[in-house]
Structure 1
Amino acid sequence: MSFFQVEWSPAIVSSALVGGLLLGSCSAPAAPAAGPPPTIGPDSTVRVAAGPQYLRGPVHRFFWGKHYRQLWAVPIDAPVFNLRTAVPGGLTPVREGGSFQTKNLRLLDRNGVQYVLRSVDKDATKALPEGLRDGAIGRLMKDQTSVINPYGAYIVAPLAAAAGVYHTNPRLVYVADDPALGEFRQTFANALYLFEERPEGDQSAVSSFGRSAKVESSRKVFSNLVYNQQHRIDARWYLRARLFDMWLGDWSRREDQWRWASFPAAGGSTVYRAIPRDRDHAFFKFDDGLITHIIGWVKSNYQSFHQKIRLADVEGLNRAARPMDKSLLTYLTAQDFQQVADSMQRSLSDPVIHNALALWPKEVYAQAGAEFDENLRGRRDQLDEVAAKFYELLARDIELPGTDQSERFVIEPTGPGLVRVSQYGLHAGRPDSLVGQRTFDYRQTRSIKVFGLGGNDVFELRGLPDHRFSIGIYDGAGQDVVTLKTEGSAAKAATSVTVYDSGDGNTITVAKPVKVESYVPAATEFDAAGWLLRHRLF
């Protein structure tokens, strides 16, 4: 999902309007008319700049930022893309796609394997009402494409491989006016693109997708997770990918920015590993103009790629992915976070960084290589601190979802200021299976909410948790059982446990001080379908 589509619209458009009114002379001029495309043939190269129209004068840069304007304007040599020879048997264009920002062309090879051409240049103005696209606001929005490094995605693949993160393998290409484009010729000809595999379906031949025979969308995977206990996420793998996002400064990590490699596991279950995609906003540079700096201060998720990640900004940097993080990292401990961060720091050595940057066209490396080398090394050295802060933010308020199958949740104090929550799958005729377990410390965690969702669930309180935890039990759909097992004077202890009873036939056997409250469940609390609303996937 596009940065301009989702995140910019209210803040940037209004700011652009104000800026356009107050600074009329600074508004982005219309792009210069493009010259005729070069005459070229297949299997050749062309010298071309990604976006010379983003060059601006000093006054405009003062207010609206330097960004990556110089990189957009530098000419580089790019190979001409040949649909007939790009892969054995050639490629057939089948479908135009993309968001409000990026223009995509989906391609199929002779075996039905999917590839995609993704435009290097962007056009955010499609998110605007038609009447605003050609005016000052539209020009300013288009101008801010310069916050994106046009060649950023090009170096992510070798860095991801070193970090142990799945990745696409983009190649920078120039698409000429090729008759093989067919009906898409007029729209896609004469521009720079990234050509890469599309992570979907059978990818057993692609090592950077784990050679998974079944790569699936976030909608499919998250549906499986909340409907069926047999499906689970490799949480440490996902955490590694998320720390990698932060290292790159890639804050636009919503659910649709991911695909999932599936693997069969013991007992007929399925394990999913994350495949990040769409690195348009890696290395984002936004805060180097007066107005954009003010906007970035207000909208803390607009993080710029500097040598240091400010720990105070870690929350904003991860805002787009927060619903996913809260669901998928629930049972990982602080030690897990530190171990993953330490491993990544060792993997992302100085030579790894240098060799990745050396893949850039020489003109790009000459302009940005030294800065990026310094920034990537500085941010790498912070990963342990960033991981600790990330854990701290997620640990404050915990949400533990069940599935639409039957579960048993056991909540028990394990010492002063400590409470352990265990989640089991219930199975007829065989022992319960442990889904996840974690001990929480009141010094890190202030609230824990347990959602049974569908199925006939059991919530078992084995004693009264420390009153410094606020614990909520949400029954969801199904006829659930809630019990409190305690002895003697322990029943008189102070606690902050509330059972939220939707009144659909539950059996609740608890004594004071546990509170029972009637409530009307929100859609996001009641069942699997509702839970998907938290992830914008239903």
Structure 2
Amino acid sequence: MLVSCSAPAAPRLALPAIGPDSTVQVAAGPQYMRGAVHQFFWGKHYRKLWAVPVRARVLNLRTAVPGGLTPTVAGGSFQTKNLRLVDKQGVEYVLRSVDKDATKALPEGLREGPVGKLMKDQTSVINPYGAYIVPRLAEAAGVYHTTPRLVYVADDPALGPFRQSYANALYLLEERPEGDQSTVRSFGRSARVESSRKVFTNLVTTARGRVDARQYLRARLFDMWVGDWSRREDQWRWASFPGRGGATVYRAIPRDRDHAFFKFDDGLLTHIISWVKSNYQSFHATIRLSDVEGLNRAARPLDKSLLVYLTAADFRQVADSMRLSLSDQVIEQALVVWPPEVYALAGAEFNHNLRSRRDQLPAVAAKFYELLAREVEIPGTDEAERFVLEPMGPGQLRVQVLSLRAGRPDSLLNQRTFTYPDTRSIKLFGLGGNDVFDLRGLPDHRFAVGIYDGAGQDSVTWKTPASPSKQPTNVMVYDSGDGNTINVAKPIKTEGYVPAATEFDAAGWLLRHRLF
């Protein structure tokens, strides 16, 4: 699997103008407004924002864009209702419900009982208009983004078979990041936007797929800045671009900002729950460094895979760049996009919190690097690669991954020099192909190095010195017993194993990312 480190220019985008329809004054969720006792135990959250009426344009599907919009597919997650729309040119959009319903994750018998009612009430932890301010912030930060617009869908006959389920509610209308987006600047004008499943399959299959790691890191630091802790794999799409030598470069498109600006721990019971569910991070003025691990738990499999070749200097440079890009003026301009009623209630709080959190980005990035650098996993692909391990001095180990091509010199794919004590464990996974693991010296014994062969007839070689080495080391070769050549001597150890779904055995790598 490859990563690259270029940074894209800050994108821009505008959805087609919505036609001159009428407007309505409507509250997103007045049912979430509760009494003082309930709020004491279960939190104030964003109940006032849910209850305040705001003005929204009525979306007339027949006149919204030239030729109209046609509903095609209903869907969504366990919380959000989605409705896919398509215009006459085949451009796709999606309606995402502002109100949520987490009870769909419960067994049907519990949905209408006390547990279901409590879960529904906790929808108020979400800022109903949070996603609305993200585009201007993301654009300034150099992060790809959708551009949601607040609309009201009335009892429109053009909804057809979806009329009963989708009429009379507030939605965010946004472009759907899929397929040919060459006209959409906020997706980098990519001619091919793909799903995580497709991209990760390509990364496992061939070394000709590359992820722009610095651009992905920029998106992940943006997630932390806005407090978006729910960044699982399906929350991403990937803009693809032609790279050097026939490679494909993928850049991350974050989507679904339902959990940005989360506010959970302001009730007695929800505060206690937050101690147990440490990923439920609230959007305060301070990002506590002790909370960085929980804030990023959902995205950890992605982060460990896609950021493995970036150094502490890369993390520092990206964080410093973002801190400078997100000026006070940028923050203020993003917030005034809110309906006036929303800005009056939350503008000052968000202005303060966003500025404070922005100034913490370098420290947060350093902690993020520390967490990821401790235990490293480096996968190859289903093609043949050479893994070269070479000590560079006390507490330093350089790992290079090269493409093996018959009749041609090896081609360097990626490399990084790891330093103890930042890194303590390094695991290499050959995946498919006839891979070569080349140890050019014994790694510092403080590194725990694991070599996993994967499929194919692999070779592991350490050129034993003339006199037996007394240098301690901590290298284990895991041999699946499928015809490998293991040419090592003490103190390197060999052990048989059966690859599990949690290991990098191609399909197992996708299972690890919960994509099957």
| TM-score grouping bracket, smaller chain normalisation | over 0.9
- 2:230 aligned to 252, 276, 284, which one? 252
Amino acid of the structure 2 residue aligned with 1:464: L
Supply the distance in 2 between the matched residues of 1:192 and 1:227 (Cα, whole angstroms). Answer: 42
Partner of 1:84: 62
In the alignment, structure 1 residue 401 sits paired with structure 2 residue 370: no
Letter of the aligned partner of 1:177 in structure 2?
D
Equivalent residues of 2:23, 2:56 under 8 A apart: yes
Partners of 1:447 and 1:196 lie apart in 2 by: 43
Gapped regions of structure 1 (runs ≥ 5): 1-40
- What is the aligned partner in structure 2 of residue 474 from structure 1? 452
Residue 487 of structure 1 and its aligned partner are, at CA, apart by 2.8
Equivalent of residue 52 in structure 1, options 30, 35, 57: 30
| Structure 2 residue 427 is matched with structure 1 residue 456 | no
Is 1:429 the equivalent of 2:404?
no
Q: Hey, what does 1:228 align to over in structure 2? A: 206
Residue 117 (structure 2) pairs with residue 139 (structure 1)? yes
AA aligned opposite 1:273: R
The residue number in structure 2 matching 1:207 is 185
Counterpart contact for 1:453–1:525, Cα < 8 Å: no
Q: Deviations over 1:333-370 (max 9, x none)?
A: 00000000000001100000000000000000000000
Identical aligned residues as a percent: 79
| Cα pair 1:42 1:80 within 8 Å, conserved | no
2:275 to 297, 302, 316: 297
Match of 2:388 in 1: 410
Q: Is the 8 A contact 2:464 2:489 kept in 1?
A: no
The whole-number CA distance in structure 2 between the counterparts of 1:324 and 1:489 is 44
Query: What does the per-residue CA deviation read over 1:439-482, in whole Å, with 9 as the maximum and x for residues that have no partner?
Result: 11111111000000111000000000000000000001110000
Q: Give the aligned partner of residue 496 of structure 1.
A: 474
1:250 positional shift? 0.1
Q: Match of 2:237, SS? A: strand
Deviation, 1:249, is 0.2
Cα deviation digits, residues 176-212 of structure 1 (max 9, x gap): 1111111111111111000000000000010000000
Larger mean CA deviation between 411-420 and 125-134 belongs to: 125-134
Distance in 2 (CA, whole Å) between partners of 1:405 and 1:446 is: 28
After superposition, give the CA deviation of every residue in 1:493-514 in whole Å (9 maximum; x if it has no partner).
1000000011100001111100
The one-letter code sitting in structure 1 at the alignment partner of 2:105 is A
User: Matched residue of 2:502: which SS?
Assistant: helix
Specify the alignment match of 1:180 in structure 2: 158
1:533 offset after TM fit, Å?
1.0
**Residues 1:117 and 1:85: Cα distance change in structure 2 (over 3 Å):** same
1:286 equivalenced with 2:264 (yes/no): yes
**What's the counterpart of residue 371 of structure 1?**
349
Corresponding letter in the other structure for 1:371: E
How many angstroms does 1:87 deviate by? 2.1
| Matched AA of 1:225 | L
Match of 1:71 in 2: 49
Distance 1:409 1:157 in 2: 41
CA drift of 1:489 comes to 5.2
4+ residue segments displaced more than 6 Å? none
Q: Name the SS of the counterpart of 2:121 in structure 1.
A: helix
Query: Equivalent of 1:444, from 416, 422, 444?
Result: 422
Deviation at 1:490, TM superposition (A): 7.1
Give the deviation of 1:523 after TM superposition. 2.8
* Residue 529 in structure 1 maps to residue 507 in structure 2: yes
Aligned-residue offset at 1:529: 1.5
Greater relative contact order, per chain length (Cα 8 Å cut-off, separation 6+): 2
Please provide the CA RMSD for this pair. 1.1
- Distance change >3 Å, CA 203–CA 490, structure 1 → 2: farther
Give me the whole-angstrom Cα distance separating, in 1, the residues matched to 2:104 and 2:454.
41
Q: 1:524, 1:532 within 8 Å by CA — same for their partners in 2? A: no
Which residue of structure 2 aligns with residue 263 of structure 1? 241
Q: What displacement does 1:83 show?
A: 1.1
Matching residue of 2:463: 485
Picking from 296, 309, 318, the partner of 2:287 is: 309
- Cα distance in 1 for partners of 2:297, 2:287 equals 15
> 2:89 aligned with 1:108, yes or no?
no
Given the alignment of the two structures, is residue 385 of structure 1 paired with residue 359 of structure 2, yes or no? no
Q: Quick one: distance in 1 between partners of 2:54 and 2:100?
A: 18
Amino acid at match of 2:154: A
| Gapped regions of structure 2 (runs ≥ 5) | 1-18
Identify, as 1 or 2, the structure richer in helix: 1
